[in-house]
Amino acid sequence: MQTITSSNQAIALEDKYGAHNYHPLPVVLAKGEGVFLWDVEGKRYYDFLSAYSAVNQGHCHPRIKDALIEQASTLTLTSRAFHNDVLGPFEKYITEYFGFDKVLPMNTGAEGVETAIKIARKWGYEKKGVDENQAKIIVAENNFHGRTTTIISFSNDENARRNFGPYTAGFIKIPYDDVDALKEALSDPDVVAFLVEPIQGEAGVYVPSDDYIKQAKAACEAKNVLLIADEIQTGIARTGSLLAVCGNCTCEKSCEKQATYTKPDMLILGKAISGGFYPVSAVLADDHIMGVIKPGQHGSTFGGNPLGAKVAMAALEVVSDENLAQNARKLGELFRVRMQKLVDRYTIVKLVRGKGLLNAVVVNDTEESSTAWDICVALKDNGLLAKPTHGNIIRFAPPLVMTEEQLHECCDIIEKTIAAFEK
């Protein structure tokens, strides 16, 4: 392997040999620890993306690393043709952790979404009595659920869709955070599920009305339709509670005791479920739903492998043992207070929104402008890494292990950067 000695050299290699399916900021990272990243030249940055919320526990968390190394030296993959001695304990752990009867483990988030879609359709035919091939799933406008052909079929991001057709049928798109539109769509008896992000992350961190998910669940229940929560980005303490569907509760286990909690019929998790060490995703549901899946009907060579299972258990232990939900809640409030001051003072930023440590600042320019990108490049030069989600929106999502002092230092960096753009 060629040794990388400069960022430019690494970028040139990617440009020449890699498909151009991403447009990264011009920084080449070589090391990570906790809330920090270092580039090839040794410059240190605060990470405000957390690999799209996959490293909520911070980079290279020692407890997760130890679990990975130990399991990697013992047994990594058996396939599901045989049992392995970590899968069962993992399944018990994660179902108790989130309060569901059963889990179906996969690898990437998109696979988790695909899995939930398949289960919902099968449930629709076998339990709800929908006619063959007629099942429909309601989704929200501006959703992001991944990149497979079926998932992009119900995206309304033209860049994600164009020239990838023909598209998978069977999806109804409604406006986000609109219970009336949901109720209207639910009048179709072929609807089997409503697939929704409790907060829309990729779309630009859109936080719906407080009772949106609760009302959506009630509306679905009334029509015998499954509510599927995609918490791949919002879950695992990111939004200041274990799951976004926990509402305002910060206890470290998902529970139905809290009035603010809305239990989805299916919960999709990914990203931080493994703390950034290994791709693990999961669909959780109770027996009357998960029971429709029989041997041979769904699976994945790597899904449920002992390495991923061990890593995921360690990653979830860290979330509860280090009270990451409470920390995300506390720091999130501080962050929005500090950003609101910038919004009040500078015309270049017009809005801050978010929950816990999933936040966005809206830049006062058009979606087509390069201002948000230029601000992110300047933030990088000042030692902080963030990325625009859509044109003029910058998402700020640091690892949840950040301290209050570090957060204030980061807000100082953001303020200094914004101030320099103002003139």
- Return residues touching ligand PLP (CB under 6 A): 52, 108-110, 113, 144-146, 197, 201-202, 230, 232-233, 270-271
Q: Please tell me the distance from the alpha carbon of residue 28 to that of residue 11, in angstroms, as a whole number.
A: 7
Smallest separation (angstroms) from ligand PLP to the CB of 113: 6
Contact 290, 102 (CB under 8 A): yes
Smallest separation (angstroms) from ligand PLP to the CB of 330: 23
Q: Which two tokens stand for residue 45?
A: 């940055």
From 278, 265, 290, 253, select the one nearest 118 (Cα to Cα). 290
Smallest separation (angstroms) from ligand PLP to the CB of 144: 5
Smallest separation (angstroms) from ligand PLP to the CB of 421: 28
Q: How far is CA 225 from the centre of its chain?
A: 24
- Name the strands in the sheet holding 393-396, side by side, starting at the edge strand that comes first in the sequence: 349-355, 358-363, 393-396, 387-388
Catalytic residue, candidates 90, 98, 100, 144: 144
Closest CB to ligand PLP among residues 32, 270:
270
Q: Output the CA torsion sign for 393, 397, 403, 404.
A: positive
Contacts 24+ apart (CB under 8 A), 335-343: 335/359, 335/396, 335/407, 335/411, 338/408, 338/411, 338/414, 338/415, 339/396, 339/411, 339/414, 342/414, 342/415, 342/418
Strand partners, 284: 103, 267
Cis bond upstream, residue 166 (ω within 30): yes
Active site residue 230: yes
Closest CB to ligand PLP among residues 52, 90:
52
Catalytic residue, candidates 194, 230, 277, 387: 230
How buried is residue 394: exposed, middle or buried, by Cβ count under 10 Å (0-12/13-18/19+)? buried
Active site residue 194: no
Smallest separation (angstroms) from ligand PLP to the CB of 155: 11
Closest-approach residue to ligand PLP (CB): 109
Closest CB to ligand PLP among residues 39, 47:
47
Closest CB to ligand PLP among residues 110, 413:
110
Smallest separation (angstroms) from ligand PLP to the CB of 145: 5
Smallest separation (angstroms) from ligand PLP to the CB of 159: 16
Catalytic residue numbers, as ranges: 144, 230, 271
